[in-house]
Structure 1
Amino acid sequence: MIDPALTSDPGRPVWATRGMVASGQPLATAAGLEMLLRGGNAVDAALAMAAVTSVTMPEMCGLGGDAFALVYDARTRTVTAFNGSGPAPLAASVERYRAAGYTEMPFEGWWSVAVPGAVGVYLEMHARYGSLPLEEVWAPAIRYAREGFPIDARLAANIAAGADKLAQDPAAAAVFLAAGSRPRPGTILKNPDLARSFEQVLAEGAEGFYKGTLARRIGEASRAAGGLLTAEDMAAFEVEVYRPLVTTYRGYRVFETAPPSQGLILLEMLNLAEGFDLSGGSPTDPDVVHLLVEIKKLAFADRNAYLGDPRFVKAPVEKLISKAYAARRRQDLDLRRANNAPSGGDLDGDTTSFVAVDGEGNAVSFIHSISALWGAGVMVPGTGFLMNNRAGRGFVLSEEHPNGLAPGKRTMHTLNTYLVTRPQSHDPEGPEGGHPQPAAPEQGAGSSRHDAGRPSGDGELVLVGNTPGGDGQPQWNLQVLVNVLDFGLNAYQAVAAPRWTSFPGTDPINLKAPLELRLESRFPAETAAELLQRGHVLRGIGPWAAGGSAMLIRVLEGGVYEGAADPRDGGVALGF
């Protein structure tokens, strides 16, 4: 029987057979579908959506941000991960920030900026898997930037919310406050400088962005404002291409992005949940909600206690996502009482995302961001894009903490993205899956290659999904996967089900806040009453106010794709 709370919205999944895309912005979804209709593949569609969201969702993502992606190659049945997480400037040190008077990392301005890695991911993905010319793939985005696009209600609200921040930077204000601090939805927004920046990337490639004209302009703007980021920091950046993390859940393989992404949190949570029989439950069952919330607390505590940039911190990744560790960690769960002071276990990481699948079965799960809303609030004059505030938002101002600031170090990252396969019957690796198998990278501007140790196949594609939303991402991804794999919900039911969020998560700015459980009002009163009885501190929110913009595409029998976009964010799934 379907939970009544799942029938309060009239939406339905979308079905198609030749390809499907889903994103949180209709113009981006349309651009992705256009690439599939032109004969492009899932990577072409994803890169078109990446470019269009950089134009139409400038407060969330863009050329000044970072990106992570998983690509499923249907021909080889393998999954490849891309990490475009930029490091802190080489001049950034705890001592320097403290000498400047900071007791915590600054949340805005040039001292909060890390090297932008998204462009490296865009170009590396296209070089490896793209089938259409990148000029064709980015043409819709360049057209929207140069000729303009109508501001939707979301962007209008975000301009109003960020108006004070934008007003402090003349270049940003000239673009985004041209129609005032409270523009009406439907107002046309033009950004011809951004169109020129895209064209410059097309002309010069990764070498140009990280070592050429745009790199020099970024370095000069930072220096002029007293920032730490330099052209030399830009030139040292490399994309990581590697074997993703993987665990198994109910016989499926679940792939995730590795540290500094916090994708392993999802895998640890699934390992913990696998020890319990959830069949017959529902997303609003108080026993289910309590269990998953308590699992979240343990996994997030482990992330906060142990993880940092693997190049600086010996992170116990394999232990944290092992079945043996999950079996021991389950002993820390109380099925009747809330744990409001979780700690790390004993061992002996605002955004937009999208998914795409093509007619050949190739798939992409992609997420990119400039971190907080409107990023650092600074724009390099003449470029049209904002810089991220990833360093300021992500690091702890401590030399001892695993996620403490250090020169050239990457902060632990909220961005993560997942993909699920079904192991093949002849797969010698069996149901236990595997762990990351990186190889030594080749040198080169904006790229490195980790191709050693590839297995013969990672299985048959089952679903691809993700959501933006900071520390909500692993929690909401967990709920969507359980909704599908345990409760048998379809794609739309899975992303539209009532959603909970346990706060805080891993974001340093929120870590000192007391724990609370945020429940959408579509949860039954009986569920809330039972959770209160078990000691949870509840905060009621609107019926669709939990946040996120979950995207999901499932592969059904007969070559049919079933997809859905989260109704909370006005996104759309399209196929043909």
Structure 2
Amino acid sequence: MIDPALTSDPGRPVWARNGMVASGQPLATAAGLEVLARGGNAVDAALAMAAVTSVTMPEMCGLGGDAFALVYDARTRTVTAFNGSGPAPMAATVERYRAAGHTEMPFEGWWSVAVPGAVGVYLEMHARFGSKPLEELWAPAIRYAREGFPIDARLAANIAAGAAKLAQDPAAAAVFLAAGPQPKPGTVLKNPDLARSFERVLADGAEGFYKGELARAIGDASRAAGGLLTAEDMAAFEVEVYRPLVTTYRGYRVFETAPPSQGLILLEMLNLLEGFDLAGQSPTDPDVVHLLVEIKKLAFADRNAYLGDPRFVQAPVERLLSKEYAARRRRDIDPERANNAPAGGELDGDTTSFVAVDAEGNAVSFIHSISALWGAGVMVPGTGFLMNNRAGRGFVLSEEHPNGLAPGKRTMHTLNTYLVTRIPAGDGEPGTAGGPGSGETDGGGTGDAANPARDDGELVLVGNTPGGDGQPQWNLQVLVNVLDFGMNAYRAVAAPRWTSFPGTDPINLKAPLELRLESRFPAETAAELLRRGHVLRGVGPWAAGGSAMLIRVLEDGVYEGAADPRDGGVALGL
């Protein structure tokens, strides 16, 4: 019998043969599809969507934010990762924050800002894999910024929610509150300063953004407001290009972004889950929900206990991702009782994301963000883009903690993105090598990230979701729905969703554990989870959060894609 909770939405996946894109914003999806129709590749489409979302989803991403991406090259069957995580300013010391009266990292303002790394990722991806001129790819975004676009209900609601924050910064208020603190959907939003910033990046490249006019403008605005970020901090930034983290799961390879991204959490959860048989069950069964939630708690506890910027912390990545560690860690799971005080094992928001595949089978999984909704709430005058609050949201104000603040250090990120391939026949189990600090970082065009001899297998899935600490949890649920329960792309992203809170954000870590269940879960499931000791909080039928994007590669070169119905996204194909 099919669980009615899994069939309560009339949506369906989209199928195509000549390429597909999916994003959380229709104008971005349309821009990506147009690039594919003109013969561009998946990276071209992703870069077009990155620019359009920077304009049409300004509360979530943009030139002042950060980015991570995975690129699958169909010709060489290799996967390359990009890290655009910016460090804290060199003046950002624990002592300095404490002297200023802070007992916790400030969540808003210039003292919460890290170096923005997204632009570096955009340009590095284009240099390595792009096939169309960047001027052509960014033309739709520049047009929307200069001529305006009608805001949707999501952006209208987010402007209302962030009005007080935006009102504190004159430059931000002039752009986003021009129509008042509660604009109606359909109101046209123009941001000509942002159009000029994109054009400046096109003219001057990464050198110009990080060492030229825009870098100086960012440094000047920070100094004028008493901030710590300087033009020298901007000039020191470099994108990391590397071999991503990888693990195996039931005949597949799953790739993830490495620390300071917390993609490792998803891979550790899959390693733990691999020791359990889910045959004959469904994602709404209480046994399944309980097991996945308990696995989440263990992996998140390990992340909180051990992980930080690999340049500062000797994080035990390979041990955390080993199958042996997973086997030991499974002993900490009680099948009948919730663990509401998880601890690290013994060792030997807000964002947008999108996916793209092209007719040749190349694929991109991309995620970028200014961290919290409306970032730090500060805009550099004349640029049209908001600065991130990644340092304020991510760091712990401690010199001893693995994720403690330090000058030039990158905070651990909620941002992560995944890609799945099929293990080639006769191939052995891959290791977990890769990632910054493994000796495989490729900042100059050589090394494993550029090795065409490596065969990572045929592409099976490319996906991701925004949503802070919900990302690894929701990505896990989508992957299990496809790989274990055989769902199509739409059912996988639309199935009833749960969220275990808190996750890793320092601001929330002291909150008691609770399990948020969408109301589409059967009442019997909720009752059984309560009996096992979970603290439940019911949310609306589609209110658990996230905006999952997924593209599956089927037989005969057919792509099947879907965008999460929770967030008004769109998947389109050719």
TM-score, length of structure 1 as denominator length? 0.96
CA gap of 1:348–1:179, structure 2 versus 1, over 3 A, is: same
Other structure's SS at 2:76 match: coil
Equivalent position of 1:211 in the other structure: 211
Other structure's SS at 2:552 match: strand
Equivalent pair of 1:222/1:228 in contact (CA under 8 Å): yes
CA gap of 1:174–1:435, structure 2 versus 1, over 3 A, is: farther
Superimposed CA distance per residue, residues 485-543 of structure 1 (whole angstroms, 9 cap, x where no aligned partner): 00000000000000000000000000000000000000000000000000000000000
- By how many angstroms is 1:110 displaced? 0.2
Equivalent pair of 2:242/2:436 in contact (CA under 8 Å): no
Equivalent position of 2:403 in the other structure: 403
- By how many angstroms is 1:280 displaced? 1.4
Equivalent position of 2:431 in the other structure: 437
Q: Within 2, Cα distance between the matches of 1:165 and 1:571?
A: 26
- By how many angstroms is 1:40 displaced? 0.1
Please point out which of 470, 494, 497 is paired with 2:495.
497
Which stretch has the larger CA shift, 139-148 or 345-354?
345-354
Other structure's SS at 1:464 match: strand
Other structure's SS at 1:138 match: helix
CA gap of 1:62–1:174, structure 2 versus 1, over 3 A, is: same
CA gap of 1:133–1:438, structure 2 versus 1, over 3 A, is: farther
CA gap of 1:147–1:447, structure 2 versus 1, over 3 A, is: farther
Q: Within 2, Cα distance between the matches of 1:20 and 1:3?
A: 30
- By how many angstroms is 1:279 displaced? 1.6
Other structure's SS at 1:20 match: strand
Equivalent pair of 1:13/1:490 in contact (CA under 8 Å): yes
Equivalent pair of 2:48/2:141 in contact (CA under 8 Å): yes
CA gap of 1:243–1:55, structure 2 versus 1, over 3 A, is: same
Alignment of 1:330-341 (within 5 A): 330-341=330-341
Other structure's SS at 2:246 match: strand
Q: Within 1, Cα distance between the matches of 2:460 and 2:349?
A: 25
Equivalent pair of 2:71/2:81 in contact (CA under 8 Å): yes
Alignment of 1:223-302 (within 5 A): 223-302=223-302
Equivalent position of 2:536 in the other structure: 538
Q: Within 1, Cα distance between the matches of 2:196 and 2:349?
A: 33
Q: Within 1, Cα distance between the matches of 2:432 and 2:276?
A: 33
Equivalent pair of 2:148/2:191 in contact (CA under 8 Å): yes
Other structure's SS at 2:449 match: coil
Equivalent pair of 1:552/1:564 in contact (CA under 8 Å): yes
Equivalent position of 2:62 in the other structure: 62
CA gap of 1:554–1:5, structure 2 versus 1, over 3 A, is: same
Other structure's SS at 1:79 match: strand
Q: Within 1, Cα distance between the matches of 2:452 and 2:339?
A: 40
Superimposed CA distance per residue, residues 259-292 of structure 1 (whole angstroms, 9 cap, x where no aligned partner): 0000000000000000000121111000000000
CA gap of 1:502–1:242, structure 2 versus 1, over 3 A, is: same
Other structure's SS at 1:452 match: helix
Other structure's SS at 2:103 match: coil
Superimposed CA distance per residue, residues 346-378 of structure 1 (whole angstroms, 9 cap, x where no aligned partner): 002900000000000000000000000000000
In percent, how many aligned pairs have the same letter? 90
Other structure's SS at 1:573 match: strand
Equivalent pair of 1:245/1:435 in contact (CA under 8 Å): no
- By how many angstroms is 1:449 displaced? 6.1
Q: Within 1, Cα distance between the matches of 2:552 and 2:166?
A: 40
Please point out which of 506, 509, 513 is paired with 1:508.
506
Equivalent pair of 2:322/2:432 in contact (CA under 8 Å): no
CA gap of 1:261–1:356, structure 2 versus 1, over 3 A, is: same
Equivalent pair of 1:441/1:450 in contact (CA under 8 Å): no
CA gap of 1:57–1:127, structure 2 versus 1, over 3 A, is: same
Equivalent pair of 1:241/1:450 in contact (CA under 8 Å): no
Superimposed CA distance per residue, residues 366-406 of structure 1 (whole angstroms, 9 cap, x where no aligned partner): 00000000000000000000000000000000000000000
Q: Within 1, Cα distance between the matches of 2:512 and 2:160?
A: 29
- By how many angstroms is 1:448 displaced? 7.6
CA gap of 1:438–1:191, structure 2 versus 1, over 3 A, is: farther
- By how many angstroms is 1:436 displaced? 11
Equivalent pair of 1:246/1:435 in contact (CA under 8 Å): no
Q: Within 2, Cα distance between the matches of 1:446 and 1:348?
A: 31
CA gap of 1:384–1:437, structure 2 versus 1, over 3 A, is: farther
Q: Within 2, Cα distance between the matches of 1:421 and 1:404?
A: 35
Other structure's SS at 2:79 match: strand
Equivalent pair of 2:248/2:429 in contact (CA under 8 Å): no
Equivalent pair of 2:246/2:432 in contact (CA under 8 Å): no
- By how many angstroms is 1:454 displaced? 3.8
Equivalent pair of 1:547/1:568 in contact (CA under 8 Å): yes
Other structure's SS at 2:20 match: strand
Which stretch has the larger CA shift, 276-285 or 103-112?
276-285
- By how many angstroms is 1:174 displaced? 0.2
CA gap of 1:225–1:351, structure 2 versus 1, over 3 A, is: same
Please point out which of 547, 556, 564 is paired with 2:554.
556
- By how many angstroms is 1:438 displaced? 12
Equivalent pair of 2:310/2:437 in contact (CA under 8 Å): no
Superimposed CA distance per residue, residues 149-193 of structure 1 (whole angstroms, 9 cap, x where no aligned partner): 001000000000000000000000000000000000000000000
Equivalent position of 1:447 in the other structure: 444
Q: Within 1, Cα distance between the matches of 2:444 and 2:102?
A: 34
- By how many angstroms is 1:441 displaced? 9.9
Equivalent pair of 1:438/1:452 in contact (CA under 8 Å): no
- RMSD over aligned CA atoms reads 2.3
Other structure's SS at 1:184 match: coil
Other structure's SS at 1:248 match: strand
Superimposed CA distance per residue, residues 459-487 of structure 1 (whole angstroms, 9 cap, x where no aligned partner): 10001000000000000000000000000
CA gap of 1:392–1:436, structure 2 versus 1, over 3 A, is: farther
Which stretch has the larger CA shift, 139-148 or 434-443?
434-443
Equivalent pair of 1:564/1:572 in contact (CA under 8 Å): yes
Equivalent pair of 1:22/1:355 in contact (CA under 8 Å): yes
Equivalent pair of 1:105/1:396 in contact (CA under 8 Å): yes
CA gap of 1:237–1:436, structure 2 versus 1, over 3 A, is: farther
Superimposed CA distance per residue, residues 412-465 of structure 1 (whole angstroms, 9 cap, x where no aligned partner): 00000000000xxxxxxxx89999999999999997865468473x11000100
Q: Which runs of 5+ in 2 are unaligned?
A: none
Q: Within 1, Cα distance between the matches of 2:461 and 2:145?
A: 32
CA gap of 1:526–1:452, structure 2 versus 1, over 3 A, is: closer
**Pairs aligned (count):** 567
Equivalent pair of 1:261/1:349 in contact (CA under 8 Å): no
Q: Within 1, Cα distance between the matches of 2:477 and 2:279?
A: 14
CA gap of 1:117–1:278, structure 2 versus 1, over 3 A, is: same
Equivalent position of 1:413 in the other structure: 413
CA gap of 1:301–1:441, structure 2 versus 1, over 3 A, is: closer
Equivalent pair of 2:349/2:373 in contact (CA under 8 Å): no
Equivalent pair of 2:15/2:559 in contact (CA under 8 Å): yes
Other structure's SS at 1:348 match: coil
CA gap of 1:63–1:80, structure 2 versus 1, over 3 A, is: same
Equivalent pair of 1:242/1:437 in contact (CA under 8 Å): no
Equivalent position of 2:468 in the other structure: 470
